[in-house]
């Protein structure tokens, strides 16, 4: 197939569900087909970084195809939904939303030009289950894999540094072929740990070793890491796991070992009417199991689903935060970026204090959560800023009253 026919095919199927990279090939997962593209490595790298932009990708292929005819395109029917047994307790269900992350991670095994992947997406999308599967996959291929979450990584690093055993800490990690580090968003504000991780990734790259990092936030846009570590992971493949469709949720839950004895009718009710979060759905199913034991068969399913379904206020918290930031920016004639940076100007500091006050008054966010939004290293600074802003607000009201 040539580029023109590929354009017609994509146009016919409306959109690309996911772009993947596997075994030196670019993979486009469409609604009914999977397209594999083979071309020279420089173009392939350029296509992978096209950020799932359909028009950019097609334009690059067209431009390249004018001069060279070394692009090979192969099309086959898609069979996206299948189940992989991870261990005795869990299955990994491969659907369109997570297939890119799985395939990109697997491609690290054979492609030495790739240094690592960053898998990100909100909590409850199966990142940990995926990491458990990838660890077993790489070990089956004869590779040594070191898997750890960020909290334990920080604790181990601090203890090693305190006991002057940093060399042993590094040697231990660098003795493995793969590093899987989960929840790197927890490294926010931990400068020394971030610098150490950047050093380790640099050493791994020199030795052709690979890393898989996970996060609930997109580190390529949120920039919650310091510049040194950010520069290291900018060369990694970004793999977003998007929120699952209702159909994908049903397929995932249906294939979980926990749900094997639950009827499809009941599962559909929970998956299509309940929250769009796998963990919350598991909570509903466990509640159903417990309720069935003590309710004499009289289950209030709607009540259980409502208990686990976030209210509209919770679901729209991001919109609420954005609105508050925009309001404060307008009040002080600044941009949101001006407020959220580390600027020490009097106006920026005052605007940030006002923002903290409004976030605390208008939302249910904790001081720790607010500190992450405004870019403070610890919540004690947020508390002080909140108290100053509250005091200023009270004094102004008293002046108006007088």
**Extended strands (E) in 176-267:** 178-182, 210-215, 237-240
> What φ, ψ does residue 292 adopt, rounded to 5°?
-65, -25
In this predicted structure, the answer to whether residue 399 has a pLDDT above a threshold of 50 is no
Give the number of C-alpha atoms closer than 13 A to the C-alpha of residue 192, restricted to the C-beta side. Answer: 10
Query: Which residue would you say has higher pLDDT here, 341 or 134?
Result: 134
Of 199, 44, 28, 173, the closest CA to residue 114 belongs to 44
CATH of segment(s) 82-240: 3.40.50.300
In this predicted structure, the answer to whether residue 311 has a pLDDT above a threshold of 80 is no
In this predicted structure, the answer to whether residue 202 has a pLDDT above a threshold of 90 is yes
- The reported pLDDT for the residue numbered 312 is 46
In this predicted structure, the answer to whether residue 226 has a pLDDT above a threshold of 80 is yes
Instruction: Give the model confidence (pLDDT) of 351-390 as tens digits.
Output: 888 888 888 887 778 888 888 888 887 778 888 888 888 8
- The reported pLDDT for the residue numbered 182 is 93
Q: How far is it, in rounded angstroms, from Cα 113 to Cα 49? A: 14
- The reported pLDDT for the residue numbered 260 is 67
Residue found under tokens 């959220």: 340
In this predicted structure, the answer to whether residue 31 has a pLDDT above a threshold of 80 is no
Burial class (CB in 10 A: 0-12, 13-18, 19+), 349: middle
- The reported pLDDT for the residue numbered 397 is 46
- The reported pLDDT for the residue numbered 148 is 92
> What φ, ψ does residue 121 adopt, rounded to 5°?
165, 160
Mean pLDDT of the chain: 75
- The reported pLDDT for the residue numbered 52 is 44
Q: Which residues contact 88 (CB under 8 A, 6 or more apart)?
A: none
Q: How far is it, in rounded angstroms, from Cα 157 to Cα 166? A: 7
Instruction: Give the model confidence (pLDDT) of 316-353 as tens digits.
Output: 677 778 888 888 888 888 887 778 777 778 888 888 88
- The reported pLDDT for the residue numbered 200 is 94
Domain residue extents for the chain: 3-77, 82-240, 246-309, 315-401
- The reported pLDDT for the residue numbered 365 is 81
* Confidence label for 239 from pLDDT (cuts 50, 70 and 90): confident
Q: Which of 39-53, 265-279, 378-392 is least confident?
A: 39-53
> Do residues 273 and 305 make contact, with C-beta atoms less than 8 angstroms apart?
yes
* Confidence label for 206 from pLDDT (cuts 50, 70 and 90): very high
Q: How far is it, in rounded angstroms, from Cα 134 to Cα 107? A: 11
Tokens of 145: 């894999």
CATH class of 315-401: mainly alpha
Residue count of the chain, please give it.
402
Q: How far is it, in rounded angstroms, from Cα 283 to Cα 305? A: 9
Q: What is the mean pLDDT of residues 229-258?
A: 82
SS3 category, 224: coil
Q: What is the mean pLDDT of residues 155-174?
A: 92
Instruction: Give the model confidence (pLDDT) of 59-117 as tens digits.
Output: 666 665 544 445 555 554 444 445 555 555 556 777 777 888 888 888 888 877 888 99
- The reported pLDDT for the residue numbered 214 is 94
DSSP label of 378: S
């Amino acid at each position: 197939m040539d580029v023109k026919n590929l354009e017609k095919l994509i146009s016919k199927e409306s959109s690309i569900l996911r772009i993947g990279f596997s075994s030196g090939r670019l993979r486009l997962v469409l609604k009914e087909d999977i397209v594999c593209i083979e071309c020279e490595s420089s173009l392939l790298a350029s296509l992978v970084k096209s950020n799932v932009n359909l028009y950019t990708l097609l334009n690059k292929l067209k431009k390249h195809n004018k001069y060279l005819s070394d692009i090979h395109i192969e099309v086959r029917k898609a069979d996206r939904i299948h189940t992989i047994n991870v261990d005795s307790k869990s299955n990994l269900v491969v659907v369109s939303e997570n297939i890119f992350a799985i395939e990109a991670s697997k491609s690290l095994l054979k492609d030495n030009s790739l240094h690592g992947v960053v898998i990100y997406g909100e909590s409850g999308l199966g990142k940990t289950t995926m990491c458990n599967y990838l660890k077993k996959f790489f070990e089956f291929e004869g590779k040594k894999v070191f898997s750890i979450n960020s909290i334990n990584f920080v604790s181990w690093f601090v203890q090693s540094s305190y006991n002057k055993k940093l060399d042993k800490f590094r040697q231990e990690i660098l003795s493995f072929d793969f590093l899987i580090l989960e929840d790197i968003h927890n490294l926010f504000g931990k400068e020394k740990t971030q610098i150490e991780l950047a050093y380790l990734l640099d050493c791994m790259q020199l030795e052709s070793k690979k890393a898989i990092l996970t996060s609930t936030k997109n580190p390529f846009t949120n920039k919650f890491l310091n510049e040194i570590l950010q520069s290291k992971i900018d060369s990694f493949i970004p793999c977003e796991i998007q929120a699952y469709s209702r159909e994908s949720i049903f397929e995932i839950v249906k294939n979980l070992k926990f749900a094997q004895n639950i009827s499809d009718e009941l599962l559909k009710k929970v998956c299509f009417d309940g929250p769009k979060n796998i963990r919350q759905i598991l909570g509903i199913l466990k509640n159903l199991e417990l309720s069935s034991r003590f309710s004499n068969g009289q289950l209030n399913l709607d009540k259980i689903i409502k208990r686990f379904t976030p209210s509209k206020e919770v679901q729209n918290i991001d919109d609420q935060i954005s609105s508050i930031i925009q309001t404060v920016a307008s009040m002080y004639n600044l941009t949101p970026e001006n407020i959220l940076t580390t600027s020490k100007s009097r106006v920026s500091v005052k605007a940030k204090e006002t923002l903290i006050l409004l976030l605390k008054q208008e939302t249910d966010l904790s001081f720790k959560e607010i500190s992450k939004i405004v870019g403070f290293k610890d919540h004690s600074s947020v508390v002080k800023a909140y108290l100053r802003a509250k005091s200023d607000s009270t004094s102004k009201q008293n002046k108006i009253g007088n």
